[in-house]
Structure 1
């Protein structure tokens, strides 16, 4: 392969194909695919966020920085899907390309290189998205960034406290709800549903250790005093082996150590959270957890009730 030919993992501009040793006629064949208008890549290269980010930067004016949803994904954060590649500038630009969303900022962009491209820092990415994401999705992003060790919970709160851009209040409120050890977005949503309804906040990722300090079991959410675990049962993505392991773990802790398990499914959480809260209130009270006599309605601003017709 010629040294000027683009490496298989690199997108390149269609207009520069001949200069790179790629026959123009080959671009319409099965060996290459279009990433964005005017940008090609080898068909062997998977369609990843990093590839699309590189493609957008090839088209963008000087000074473009990968930002918002795309930056969050590059940092390993969990965010709702976005159809665009997001890039930001510290100046006014005229740049419109199908598949790319442009953001213009007056404040300084904190630029770090990630996967070989300039990207906004984890803290700034979180605060930028406070303008667009709801509380639950924003906390889920924060939980995932902390899980990936991009920053700590205290770092995130401090960053949001010092944020001078838009939606500082929303960023700070979400940052204060971010916790370490959260495995998934549904676990974030379940914890927030409980907290916003006024239930006592459970501990995340409870570790049960043996006499030598080794971790025997981990519980999604729990109240260690009364020995109550609340777990999201995401059976749709579990293997039979994982399901068998979870059932054996729960049976052992119930029968030999006195733990009570409250299992929550996706339908419970996303279809009828009101009924789920009623069940949680009843089961936690019966298990000895100190709970309020009535629940707050604050959760309703952040969760949709989608009752199934009989």
Structure 2
């Protein structure tokens, strides 16, 4: 039972909106009005702060922060790439508009956490289709490389050839995240066959596995930098 005025927030609120999930063993994020004493309570992570009436929504009879307020809290409490991964999902589902998030952050200049919200909103992309792809994109950008286009569709003579997770179309360089957890075997083989068709169009396609992402991301970045530099028109930052 939540105390009066308290709401579900953060990752827990995002999960209720369908943007991510919270495992059964993980605690729920709860926001309690500043000055109100509550907790500690097993199974809850209690945050305190100002809660405006416009920050509160109700979903399935559960009070929770609005998608916009949820994004603000995520930006404050999570690492940047984790916050962006969830904000991407909220934007993909059209629960938040990224230009509006940026505008809201600018109107709160000087307020605690506004810079973190600005950074997350700048890095977010409504085109992202999975959390691992979002984390990969954010790490690439934070490493100083140009921002890629998400889910770029390659066509030949007006016909579909392939859809790429991340791409720099003007350079014909792309990155694919190989997460077998979101592919059935047949879909995986179809994807590989489509990607092979890009060879004739002079595309460079790099692949990143979950293991490589965890254990050798710097090695992958070096390969990506080399691929980008090999193409005329690349302007390093």
Q: Same fold (TM over 0.5)?
A: yes
RMSD of aligned alpha carbons: 2.5
Corresponding residue of 1:265: 209
Corresponding residue of 1:119: 64
Q: Which moved more, 1:229-238 or 1:155-164?
A: 155-164
> Which structure is larger by alpha-carbon Rg, 1 or 2?
1
- Counterpart check, 1:240 vs 2:182: no
What's the offset of the Cα at 1:209?
4.3
Structure 1 length-normalised TM? 0.68
Verify the 8 A CA contact 2:153 2:163 in the aligned structure 1.
yes
> Helix, strand or coil for the counterpart of 1:131?
helix
Residues 80, 60 of structure 1: alpha-carbon distance in 2 compared, 3 angstrom cutoff: closer
Runs of 5+ consecutive residues of structure 1 not aligned to the other structure: 1-58, 296-310
- Alignment deviations for residues 152-176 of structure 1 (CA, whole Å, 9 cap, x no partner): 2112212222347531111111111
CA–CA separation in structure 1 for the residues paired with 2:28 and 2:90? 19
| Equivalent residue in structure 2 for 1:69, among 11, 18, 23 | 11
> Helix, strand or coil for the counterpart of 1:229?
strand
Corresponding residue of 1:88: 31
Corresponding residue of 1:156: 101
> Helix, strand or coil for the counterpart of 1:155?
helix
With CA pairs under 8 Å and 6+ residues apart, which has the higher RCO, 1 or 2?
Answer: 2
CA–CA separation in structure 1 for the residues paired with 2:135 and 2:21? 13
CA–CA separation in structure 2 for the residues paired with 1:65 and 1:290? 48
Number of residue-to-residue matches in the alignment? 233
CA–CA separation in structure 2 for the residues paired with 1:277 and 1:163? 35
Corresponding residue of 2:150: 204
- Counterpart check, 1:144 vs 2:144: no
What's the offset of the Cα at 1:285?
2.1
Q: Which runs of 4+ in 1 moved over 4 A?
A: 79-82, 209-212
- Alignment deviations for residues 183-204 of structure 1 (CA, whole Å, 9 cap, x no partner): 1122122222222222222111
Residues 142, 289 of structure 1: alpha-carbon distance in 2 compared, 3 angstrom cutoff: farther
> Helix, strand or coil for the counterpart of 2:77?
coil
CA–CA separation in structure 1 for the residues paired with 2:207 and 2:162? 16
> Helix, strand or coil for the counterpart of 1:83?
coil
Verify the 8 A CA contact 1:199 1:291 in the aligned structure 2.
no
What's the offset of the Cα at 1:235?
2.4
- Alignment deviations for residues 19-63 of structure 1 (CA, whole Å, 9 cap, x no partner): xxxxxxxxxxxxxxxxxxxxxxxxxxxxxxxxxxxxxxxx22222
**Could you say which structure has the higher helix fraction?**
2
CA–CA separation in structure 2 for the residues paired with 1:289 and 1:182? 25
Structure 2 length-normalised TM? 0.86
CA–CA separation in structure 1 for the residues paired with 2:208 and 2:127? 19
- Alignment deviations for residues 228-265 of structure 1 (CA, whole Å, 9 cap, x no partner): 2211111244221011111111012223x332211111
